[in-house]
Amino acid sequence: MRAVIQRVARASVKVDSEVISQMGEGVLVLLGIEASDDPEDVEWLSKKIVNLRIFDDGEGLMNESLLNTGGDIIVVSQFTLHAATKKGNRPSYIKAAKPHIAVPLYEAFIKQVETDLGKKVGTGIFGADMKVDLLNDGPVTILIDTKNKE
């Protein structure tokens, strides 16, 4: 799994001009799933994200996690995170998992984050044409790949 984690002041997701998720301060997660991902990746990534100390403490240092701040999360599926761009100018998405693999892992990830965070998580709609609006706070943007554990 690959994730782009963005600390945001606000974020929302629209499908067909309808807002389906919105939040204030927290984290927007763009999640890419590949065929070799499994439940261990789901659990590891969820725990990593909810415990990331990327929010300012009282002294202005990034020492607080979502668990400390009570911030929210929106998770949006994004197969393009697995784009291969080595050959030519048209990205290949061959490493991105097909829906029959990706959808159950995406849903498992959402449930795991809700368990780890202790509250409901906003989402996009898998496979939909979504419009994601966000105000990146910092900006703080972190890339995590479960295959590299970094």
Catalytic residues: 78-80
CB-CB contact of 81 with 141 (8 Å): no
Pair 33, 101: CB distance under 8 Å: yes
Residue indicated by tokens 């984050």: 113
* Distant-in-sequence, close-in-space partners of 72: CB < 8 Å, separation ≥ 6: 23, 24, 25, 26, 27, 66, 119, 121, 122
The pair of three-digit structure tokens given for residue 5, joined into one six-digit string: 């984690």
